[in-house]
Chains A and B, each alone.
Chain A
Amino acid sequence: MNRTTLAAAFPVTVPVLMGYLAIGMAFGLMLQSIGCGVGWAVLMSAVIYAGSGQYLGVSLLAAGASLPQTAFLTLIINFRHLVYGLSMLEKFRGMGARKLYMIFSLTDETYALLSSAKAPEGVDEHDFFFAVALLDQSYWVLGSAIGSLLGSALAFDTTGVDFAMTALFLVIAVGQWRGAGSHLPALLGGAAALAGLALAGAEDMLLPALAIIVIALTLLRPRLEGGGNREEETSCT
């Protein structure tokens, strides 16, 4: 990976930089508070690399949960990643050994960046994807280490900096909305999330929401694939 690729990938990852530093620091602080220092924080962020999963991990460690229980809860909270991989099958094809890292590092945020960002002119697409993924994880590890080291002595009030994530998703949604042949998937996703929130509550909403989305999109396939054809026709005129 050369400097040009990194320079092209960096601006794209800035929102994740802000978000990951903030969320990673919170993780480092939490882990420190149960008696695990910076070495453990860096190790967990290097080999697990999952925001909500690692938050959960801290409480499992603190509670002394059993290993099967740990495995089960980790599976539930990361279940949504199964779906992310489906939309990356084509994108990661032909990436060779780096593909293993791309799969490992497919977090919510990296998924969001990769599903929308395009490599600029003259930059290899696969190099660009790899640079984005690697930068994102470096922010995560860095944030965890800083949080662990600083303890609660933060120099400035970072309250609210995690809104960068929400803003990032909103910006991606605006782009998708403009490019979409049908707005039904986006509207359905929002409605399903609200249904999940109502059914399962704030912390457990993702699994039911995902189930509704997958089932509804499968049922709507005849209609939506028809919509795709219409889009092709209008683009020719």
Chain B
Amino acid sequence: MHLTPVQILAYIAVMAGVTFLTRALPFLLFDRGDHPPKLILYLGRVLPPAIIAMLIVYCLRGITFASPAGWAPPLIAGLAAVLLHIWKGNDLISIFGATVLYMVLVQGVFA
């Protein structure tokens, strides 16, 4: 680290500014009280399920198929989350159950 505190602050300001901009832009463009274009409203409605599905794949992007340790824990725990949720319908039970199962699998069974 050869950076001075002022330089670090400059980096942080740039990162904070750009990050906020990416979040604020839709509101700056389409949120002026009048109705946003119909296409935008349509996208706002159909995008969430597509994005959640994309994020699931993104979360599982580290899966490898060289050995069972690379794919079995996320697959088993992911299936457990879905089945628990279909069975009990309780967010916390599904998420806790699957996470604990995953931790047991990666730390114990497939370690």
Contact = CB atoms under 8 A, between A and B. Distances in A.
A118 B55 CA distance: 21
A102 B1 CA distance: 34
A57 B26 contact: no
A190 B27 contact: no
B55 to A, nearest CB: 5
Interface in B45-97: 45-62, 73-74, 77-78, 81-82, 85-86, 91-92, 94-95
A190 B31 contact: no
Given A160-B103, A174-B82, A35 B1 contact: yes
Interface in A15-51: 15, 18, 34-36, 40, 43-44, 47-50
A218 B78 CA distance: 30
Given A87-B48, A171-B81, A213-B47, A164 B53 contact: no
A84 B19 contact: no
A180 B40 CA distance: 19
Contacts of B94: 167, 170-171
B50 A185 contact: yes
A79 B58 CA distance: 15
A82 B55 contact: no
B16 A92 contact: no
A94 to B, nearest CB: 11
Given A202-B61, A205-B61, A159 B103 contact: yes
A180 B49 contact: yes
Size category of the binding interface on chain A: 35 or more
Contacts of A154: none
Contacts of B95: 14-15, 164, 167-168, 171
Contacts of A88: 26, 44
B34 to A, nearest CB: 12
B14 A67 contact: yes
Contacts of B16: 47-48
Contact of A173 (B15, B27, B49, B103): B49
A50 B19 contact: yes
B52 A169 contact: yes
Interface stretch (A103-111, A119-127, A134-142, A143-151): A103-111
A134 B55 CA distance: 22
Interface in A165-186: 165-177, 180, 185-186
Contact of A224 (B3, B46, B57): B46
Contacts of A62: 1
B47 A83 contact: yes
Interface of A: 11-12, 14-15, 18, 34-36, 40, 43-44, 47-50, 53-54, 57, 60-62, 64, 67, 70-71, 74-75, 78-90, 92-93, 99, 103-104, 106, 108, 112, 115, 157, 159-161, 163-177, 180, 185-190, 192-194, 196-197, 202, 205-206, 209-210, 213-214, 217-218, 221, 224-225, 228
14 contacts: A36-B8, A44-B15, A47-B12, A61-B3, A64-B2, A87-B47, A88-B26, A160-B73, A160-B105, A164-B99, A170-B82, A170-B94, A171-B95, A174-B85
